[in-house]
Structure 1
Amino acid sequence: MLPAALRRVTEGVTPYFCFLLLVVTLGPHQFGFHLAELNAPQDVITCHSGKTPSTIYGKGSVDCIPMNEAQFATVSSIFTVGGLIGALVAGPFCSRFGRLPAMRITGLLFTAGSIFETLATSIAMLAVGRIFNGVGAGAATVIVPLYISEVAPVQSRGFFGAFTQITVNVGILFTQTLGYFQSQKADWRTILGTGIVLASAQSLGLLFVPESPSWMVARHDDPATLQKARRTLQRIRGSKANLDAEVANWPGNARSAEEQALLGQEAAGISGDGDGEGVVVIAPPSPRPAAAALGKAKKPTIGFFGLVKDPFYRPALIAIIGIMFAQQVCGINSVIMYSVSLLNGMLPLNSGVLTIIISAVNLIMTMFSAPLPDRLGRKACLLISVVGQGTSSFLLAFSIVYGIKILSALSVLTFVAFFAVGLGPVPFILASELVGQEAVGATQSWALGANYVATFLVAQFFPLINTALNAKLGGAGWVYFLFAFFAVLSTIFFWFYVPETNGKKDADEVWGRTARVD
């Protein structure tokens, strides 16, 4: 017999829904895959493995592409530039044209990007492929969570929403493992070519995925579309599922509970006619009081730049931008994107094997930490995470500088584990909880923009700063003292400026202020 919590999560889950979940999460999976794909084969791709370029596949094809450190950093970080573009464009596009066309376009972008990367014979060609994949990845991080939230059973949307982050980490683990076995000679092209297989599988699977019923209902109110939306939802929920409660608020369906109660009272009520006799009065349908009330209370939507100009929302904007920058400047992508070359020879394990272990720890901790923000609170998880990651950074730097290899290995593992506790998932939760519904869209756009900008800065400049510090101070590992310093600054920022949102009914209660009246 299944535990109650597990029964609640699996209630309403059908094989067809599982198929949809598998197909659509191939988008976030490829985000993780392409984020880490150059890590393991870095030395081979850049001709730093002791070999010189040689033609092996025919005219114009080489087994490596000569690059210096700055050029490789640019190729790596340009993925995040594409991600920023994709994230900003995807929201308006999928709102206007639908979730399904948007996801299909990401499949095409992933396919084109992977082809460019696999066949690349120059830095420019490799960079173009990275941009295409970045745009697809950025778009997928926006579209897929929306689609899952709209097709998942109501009582388990939070659980299945976590699959986006989980599949990102699965993608990272997959590519790190593949890179361990394929990072020699021209075999790195096999790693990048696997992206073509993943993108093709996504594109093929999406041919059998329907449009989100919620989007169809929100964008169209004609009877044919509403019937199609209901048939789609019935297929997702199962032929025997009762949809009445879920579709109650769809246009053309049953009136609101308030209106039904009112009409019921009017139909069955006794009205006096002045002489004491009662007559049955059947009143015509009246306007929906609930809808009218909501219409009066509804706040105007806040735009992207309106969020900056309005002092009412400015504290939330500063908080979310600070949180997103903290997520990156504490150094997680220094491990995800550069760990093999960075840690080579510094630790007791082969750096490729350690990278696989790191990715596995990241995945496992992400899964086990999913309930913590609701149990401990968002701010508590952020503080535990940043203090733990900062301490791990300090110990990692200390152990590398003084050659304590076992401490180095343990520190890098705890560094990743603490990230998964709070800095990984919580920033994206807070982006929708620090403001009211009227400003959620604009806040999410700022959050994604800040995240990709910070990711770009770390990806682009980390290798250069690391090399400069090592040359200036002698030895390796000094850059992690810098990450520890950023963790201290982030801790101070979280403590004094980021409010707790867990258990608060709305953004006004979060900030301890009176609701705004426009």
Structure 2
Amino acid sequence: MNPETSDKNEPIISSQPAADDDDDNNNTEVKEKQDTKPTLDISTVGKNPDSKTAALPTFCLFVALVSVIGAFENGWNTSVSNVPEKIIRDCKNGQKHVNIGVLPDCLPMENLLWGFAVGSYAIGGLIGGISAGYLQTRFGRIRTLVGNNFSFILGALILGSAVNPGMFIIGRILTGVGSGISTVTVPTYLGEIATVKARGALGTIYQLFLVIGILFTQIIGLLLSSVPGWRILLALTAIPALIQLILLRFCVETPRYLISQNKLDEAQQSLQLLRPGFDVTNEYKEIYDGQQEAETVESRDPEKNPKTKDPKAISSGARKSLSFAQLFRDPMCRKMTIICVTLSVIQQLSGINGVIFYSTSIFSEVFADNAKYATVGVGVINLIFTMVSVILIDRQGRKRLLLASEIGIVVTSILVVLGSIYSINLLVVVAVLLFVSSFAIGLGPIPFLIIPELLPTYGVSAAASLAMGLNWLSNFLVGLIFPVLKDALKNYTFLVFAIITSFGAIFTLLFVPETKGRTLEEIHNENSKDTKNLDSQMKS
């Protein structure tokens, strides 16, 4: 059931039953639902500019910044064990209780155990990523973020008080679960609250805050690479979680999620708060129609639903969220999910985490004991070019930045190989920095922001969970096999990443659609039409 309007300015907001002069006591429940349509206080209509022309209202920016604290946590915990590694696993006094009476000075671990302890973070991310879709559908985006903070807080307490490697691993898994949930729920939230003009920039700030988290932990790690400083460093992840826990009280649920739950009044109020000073009538109607139309069309297909040949028998309400199996039975969602999953996997298989995790060892041959400071330099370069991406994303578009990023990674990976073969250390350092720069402008942020752009509300949770789950699995595999690859292939290690990213560039060129400058509903409608046309051509 679509809202009825007399003209384009007719407001549509609350869900009050429409008056019916022929109403009687024998109306069915379905009839009552048909007579329900959104209404709005008409005093605001036409007096304010259309919300679809809004840039980035202050409250919208505020709730976005609160949500990306989860991205900061992801970056922080990704890199927190890098700089203080030697102190954590190989300090002077070992497990003796010298500097802290009740806790050992450090947690001695051999290379294999340390590799698993660091990699267990990605295992937690895989668990969190896979489960986040269900959580954000069942409880909403905001409540999922609220509950997620307890993963970081509990993980911080365990890491800071760890007395053996087992506790350290449990703490890493818990912070990984929190980060995994954040990779799904935060980009979904950002995509669903963003204005058309600022959606790219808002989507990119997830990666921006992730990079800031990496840089912060590297800088603070230099200051706290001591006993008991490393414990404080690991426990500090609880502070951003506590801050977000407080600030989320002042944030709103996304209008799209509320409409999907048939909470129409709340959806309108949320949209109006996100677009203060603007008339939200047209934007609200577009969001509402986008979610109702999908269910109505499917319901009216006699072959799929013979019991509802009569359109009047169709009840109103948004289409229910899809499961993983249903996701792949829907032609449009299947195609978009494959695109999102491929980009998410290539993001990790490009080799970026090999650089982030092992940058100190990569630079050690050039900078010796000062390699850890060069590692901080990598974080600075990453931050600068992620900020460039924020500026360019809504001007140049997603596809163009992705292609530039992937081609840059291929070229710089080859330069790393050449510099290694011919022992040109300066070339290796410059190529690694250019590698990070190339990653930051496109392949870093875009796989996160493009998922809620390509998938409709009813498909985004399952698709995001699948894409981010495989992203975390790829993250774990790269961290696990990078040292092995480095030992086996030596100077040719980055050639593997160049080949994989070359495939990514070809895939982007052929299959990834451009999404800039359009509303989510316009994108979804166009993708649906393209998929139907392709299916028709294949059948004919």
Q: Could you tell me the TM-score, scaled by structure 1's length?
A: 0.76
Q: Matched residue of 2:468: which SS?
A: helix
Residue 385 of structure 2 aligns with which residue? 365
CA contact (8 A) 1:151 1:213 kept: yes
Question: Quick one: which amino acid aligns to residue 99 of structure 1?
Answer: R
Query: Whole-Å Cα distance in 2 between the matches of residues 507 and 250 of structure 1?
Result: 16
> Please, which of 476, 481, 484 is the counterpart of residue 495 of structure 2?
484
CA contact (8 A) 1:304 1:442 kept: yes
CA contact (8 A) 1:393 1:411 kept: yes
Does 1:34 pair with 2:71? no
CA contact (8 A) 1:69 1:464 kept: no
Query: Whole-Å Cα distance in 2 between the matches of residues 297 and 421 of structure 1?
Result: 44
Residue 245 of structure 1 aligns with which residue? 282
> Please, which of 127, 134, 149 is the counterpart of residue 169 of structure 2?
127
Does 1:189 pair with 2:226? no
Question: Quick one: which amino acid aligns to residue 84 of structure 2?
Answer: P
Kindly state the Cα deviation for residue 64 of structure 1 after the two structures are TM-superposed: 1.4
CA contact (8 A) 2:105 2:228 kept: yes
Query: Whole-Å Cα distance in 1 between the matches of residues 81 and 484 of structure 2?
Result: 17
Q: Matched residue of 1:347: which SS?
A: helix
Question: Quick one: which amino acid aligns to residue 13 of structure 1?
Answer: P
Q: Could you tell me the TM-score, scaled by structure 2's length?
A: 0.73
Larger radius of gyration: 1
> Please, which of 102, 108, 111 is the counterpart of residue 153 of structure 2?
111
Query: Whole-Å Cα distance in 2 between the matches of residues 120 and 439 of structure 1?
Result: 40
Query: Whole-Å Cα distance in 1 between the matches of residues 533 and 413 of structure 2?
Result: 35
Query: Whole-Å Cα distance in 2 between the matches of residues 45 and 227 of structure 1?
Result: 53
Query: Whole-Å Cα distance in 2 between the matches of residues 290 and 63 of structure 1?
Result: 60
**1:311-355 Cα deviation digits (max 9, x unpaired):** 998776666544433322231101222322443343378222212
Does 1:457 pair with 2:477? yes
**1:372-395 Cα deviation digits (max 9, x unpaired):** 666666565444433422332333
Over 3 Å counting, the alpha-carbon distance change for 1:483 and 1:407 in structure 2 is closer
Question: Quick one: which amino acid aligns to residue 355 of structure 1?
Answer: T
CA contact (8 A) 1:390 1:483 kept: no
Q: Matched residue of 1:38: which SS?
A: coil
Does 1:332 pair with 2:374? no
CA contact (8 A) 1:326 1:487 kept: no
Residue 5 of structure 1 aligns with which residue? none
Q: Matched residue of 1:64: which SS?
A: coil
Residue 159 of structure 1 aligns with which residue? 201
Residue 84 of structure 1 aligns with which residue? 126
Does 1:13 pair with 2:30? no
CA contact (8 A) 1:393 1:481 kept: no
Query: Whole-Å Cα distance in 1 between the matches of residues 142 and 508 of structure 2?
Result: 39
Q: Matched residue of 2:471: which SS?
A: helix
Does 1:513 pair with 2:534? yes
Over 3 Å counting, the alpha-carbon distance change for 1:494 and 1:157 in structure 2 is closer
Kindly state the Cα deviation for residue 59 of structure 1 after the two structures are TM-superposed: 4.6
Residue 502 of structure 1 aligns with which residue? 513
Kindly state the Cα deviation for residue 236 of structure 1 after the two structures are TM-superposed: 4.1
Query: Whole-Å Cα distance in 2 between the matches of residues 236 and 430 of structure 1?
Result: 21
> Please, which of 408, 419, 424 is the counterpart of residue 444 of structure 2?
424
Higher relative contact order (CA 8 A, sep 6+): 2
Residue 3 of structure 1 aligns with which residue? none
CA contact (8 A) 1:347 1:408 kept: no
CA contact (8 A) 2:132 2:461 kept: no
Kindly state the Cα deviation for residue 406 of structure 1 after the two structures are TM-superposed: 2.3
Residue 364 of structure 2 aligns with which residue? 344
Q: Matched residue of 1:172: which SS?
A: helix
Alignment coverage as a number of residue pairs: 461
Over 3 Å counting, the alpha-carbon distance change for 1:394 and 1:186 in structure 2 is farther
**1:192-221 Cα deviation digits (max 9, x unpaired):** 122122222122222333433443343244
Residue 409 of structure 1 aligns with which residue? 429
Query: Whole-Å Cα distance in 2 between the matches of residues 365 and 337 of structure 1?
Result: 19
Over 3 Å counting, the alpha-carbon distance change for 1:484 and 1:386 in structure 2 is farther
**1:10-67 Cα deviation digits (max 9, x unpaired):** 74512x44432332211111011101111111111111x6664431454541221101
Question: Quick one: which amino acid aligns to residue 510 of structure 2?
Answer: P
Kindly state the Cα deviation for residue 361 of structure 1 after the two structures are TM-superposed: 1.2
Query: Whole-Å Cα distance in 2 between the matches of residues 18 and 205 of structure 1?
Result: 13
Residue 143 of structure 1 aligns with which residue? 185
Residue 280 of structure 1 aligns with which residue? none
Query: Whole-Å Cα distance in 2 between the matches of residues 12 and 192 of structure 1?
Result: 35
CA contact (8 A) 1:385 1:421 kept: yes
Question: Quick one: which amino acid aligns to residue 418 of structure 1?
Answer: S
Deviates more, 1:361-370 or 1:212-221: 212-221
Does 1:198 pair with 2:240? yes
CA contact (8 A) 1:210 1:232 kept: yes
CA contact (8 A) 1:75 1:130 kept: yes
Question: Quick one: which amino acid aligns to residue 26 of structure 1?
Answer: I
Question: Quick one: which amino acid aligns to residue 242 of structure 1?
Answer: D
Query: Whole-Å Cα distance in 2 between the matches of residues 250 and 506 of structure 1?
Result: 16
CA contact (8 A) 2:257 2:457 kept: no
Gapped regions of structure 1 (runs ≥ 5): 1-7, 257-287, 470-477
Identity, in percent, stands at 30
Task: After TM superposition, list the pairs within 5 Å mapping 1:197-236 onto structure 2.
Answer: 197-221=239-263, 226-236=264-274
Query: Whole-Å Cα distance in 1 between the matches of residues 297 and 253 of structure 2?
Result: 32
CA contact (8 A) 1:433 1:507 kept: no
Residue 475 of structure 1 aligns with which residue? none
Over 3 Å counting, the alpha-carbon distance change for 1:18 and 1:213 in structure 2 is same
Query: Whole-Å Cα distance in 2 between the matches of residues 95 and 66 of structure 1?
Result: 42
Query: Whole-Å Cα distance in 2 between the matches of residues 346 and 138 of structure 1?
Result: 35
Over 3 Å counting, the alpha-carbon distance change for 1:480 and 1:448 in structure 2 is farther
Kindly state the Cα deviation for residue 517 of structure 1 after the two structures are TM-superposed: 11
Over 3 Å counting, the alpha-carbon distance change for 1:479 and 1:496 in structure 2 is same
Kindly state the Cα deviation for residue 114 of structure 1 after the two structures are TM-superposed: 1.0
Gapped regions of structure 2 (runs ≥ 5): 1-51, 305-318, 516-525
